[in-house]
Amino acid sequence: MQALVYHGPHQMCWEDWPDPKPGPGDVLLETCAVGICGSDVHGYTGQSGRRQPPMVMGHEAVGRVVGVGDGVSPAWCGCTAAVQPIVFCAACDECRQGTVQRCRNRRFIGGTLNGAMAERLAVPAANLVPLPEGLSPVQATLAEPLAVGIHAATRAGKLSNRTVLIVGSGPIGLLVLVAVRAAGARRVVTTDLVPSRRALARALGADASLDAGASDWAQGLKDLTGGEVDVAFDAVGVQATFAQALAAIRPGGVVVAIGGWQTVPLELSRVVTREASVLGTFNFTPAEFTQALQWLAGGRLDAGRLVSRVCRLDEGAAVFAELASHGGGEGKTVLAGGGSETLAEARRSPA
């Protein structure tokens, strides 16, 4: 079969790759659609060590079952399903208490395991969630990043009637915005350097979106919120954005760190003297993944606002090079495989 193979920083090719074989408990999927995550781009450029070559990326995946391994019901064949990418052991202390996203032996499809940027892949049947009626494969690729947003909002604690800052209006920041609005936040302000992303944040429900690079952004936040915010989410994960999030919270406030691929300094005196809480958030639970699919199917999020373009899988090398050079624009890029509807239909499906 053919796959989009990552060979090292800025090295990716559409080439021959061994055919996957479903083992016991596995299914064989034909890739319908797979989203490109910011973590994939960081892996491609070598900024993050989470992607080790040679490998096939792709964890925001939807596929059609074309074969099953031992112990799997043949009724799965022909089913189109979203892939919950966390493969957990179910035996460690974290799994036993239900926090499977913190599994001590976890593996990750598209990260530590080969993913969906290929014509086919084998995954555990337990990691499949059938697509709700009316939800297209392209739309369903948003389930994984939306689940990240839902879990981040949950980690923040009570959000009803709270003021919230989201630093970064890329896809994850925008999906956190959707989640905190659903949780009842009273006022939500986002930031970003890119004007089109700020506009999209306002369209998705932000009360305002500030230019993160402006010298007066902090005064702008104060004017909008009457002071500091209760909760700030860092959806980027670099020194400048983490510092903005920490500086924005009131005494006793909470910073939720989502983007975590860099080491950043911590202004410990501010954390101590303000009794601030700094929380990490990582992935999501299986229940939150299913919840994200239900939200998408129910229209809580208009996927057409987030998916900015759909390309073919075999165009992926050029797409990654472009994203690495020019950034991700205001929305998500999705790669459509042979298991999807025709490319023209896939490109229409988010609207």
Structure token pair of residue 119: 């014509």
Residue 295 is assigned to a structural domain of this protein: no
d(CA 234, CA 245) in angstroms, rounded, equals 6
Looking at the structure, tell me whether residues 255 and 313 fall in a common domain: no
Model pLDDT for residues 1-31, shown as the tens digit of each residue: 999 999 999 999 999 999 999 999 999 999 9
Domain interval for residue 212: 149-280
Looking at the structure, tell me whether residues 229 and 308 fall in a common domain: no
Confidence label for 51 from pLDDT (cuts 50, 70 and 90): confident
Looking at the structure, tell me whether residues 56 and 154 fall in a common domain: no
CATH of the domain at 176: 3.40.50.720
Burial category of 57 from C-beta neighbours within 10 Å (exposed 0-12, middle 13-18, buried 19 and up): buried
Residue 290 is assigned to a structural domain of this protein: no
Answer yes or no: is pLDDT of 101 > 80. yes
The answer to whether residues 261 and 43 touch, using CB atoms and an 8 Å cutoff, is: no
Contact partners, residue 49, CB within 8 Å, separation at least 6: none
The answer to whether residues 264 and 239 touch, using CB atoms and an 8 Å cutoff, is: yes
**Percent over 70 (pLDDT), the chain:** 95
- Number of compact structural domains in the chain: 2
Residue 296 is assigned to a structural domain of this protein: no
Structure token pair of residue 180: 């905190």
Looking at the structure, tell me whether residues 94 and 209 fall in a common domain: no
Q: Which of 226, 246, 280 is a domain's end point?
A: 280
Looking at the structure, tell me whether residues 101 and 126 fall in a common domain: yes
Looking at the structure, tell me whether residues 118 and 27 fall in a common domain: yes
Instruction: Give the C-alpha distances (Å, rounded to integers) separating 151 from 78, 137, 235, 288.
Output: 31, 22, 13, 7
Q: Which of 180, 135, 182, 175 lies closest to 294, judged by CA?
A: 135
Model pLDDT for residues 221-249, shown as the tens digit of each residue: 999 888 899 999 999 989 999 999 999 99
Residue 208 is assigned to a structural domain of this protein: yes
End-to-end CA distance of the chain: 31
d(CA 229, CA 247) in angstroms, rounded, equals 10
Model pLDDT for residues 169-198, shown as the tens digit of each residue: 999 999 999 999 999 999 999 999 999 999
Beta strands in the chain (DSSP E): 2-8, 11-16, 26-35, 55-56, 60-68, 80-83, 86-87, 107-108, 120-124, 128-130, 163-167, 187-192, 208-211, 229-234, 249-257, 277-280, 307-312, 332-336
Q: Which of 220, 250, 280 is a domain's end point?
A: 280
* pTM score of the predicted model: 0.93
d(CA 60, CA 336) in angstroms, rounded, equals 12
Looking at the structure, tell me whether residues 110 and 50 fall in a common domain: yes
d(CA 228, CA 219) in angstroms, rounded, equals 10
CATH of the domain at 318: 3.90.180.10
Looking at the structure, tell me whether residues 333 and 310 fall in a common domain: yes
Residue 289 is assigned to a structural domain of this protein: no
Residue 200 is assigned to a structural domain of this protein: yes
Looking at the structure, tell me whether residues 129 and 238 fall in a common domain: no
CB neighbours (10 Å) of residue 133? 6
Residue 125 is assigned to a structural domain of this protein: yes
Looking at the structure, tell me whether residues 135 and 218 fall in a common domain: no
Instruction: Give the C-alpha distances (Å, rounded to integers) separating 106 from 91, 122, 168, 283, 311.
Output: 11, 17, 28, 12, 31
Residue 97's SS3 state is coil
Looking at the structure, tell me whether residues 212 and 117 fall in a common domain: no
d(CA 68, CA 80) in angstroms, rounded, equals 13
Model pLDDT for residues 129-169, shown as the tens digit of each residue: 999 999 999 999 999 999 999 999 999 999 999 999 999 99
Residues in the chain: 351
Q: Is the peptide bond preceding residue 54 cis, with omega within 30 degrees of 0?
A: yes
Residue 286 is assigned to a structural domain of this protein: no
Q: Beta partners for 8?
A: 11
Looking at the structure, tell me whether residues 90 and 172 fall in a common domain: no
Q: Which of 250, 280, 310 is a domain's end point?
A: 280
pLDDT at 260: 75
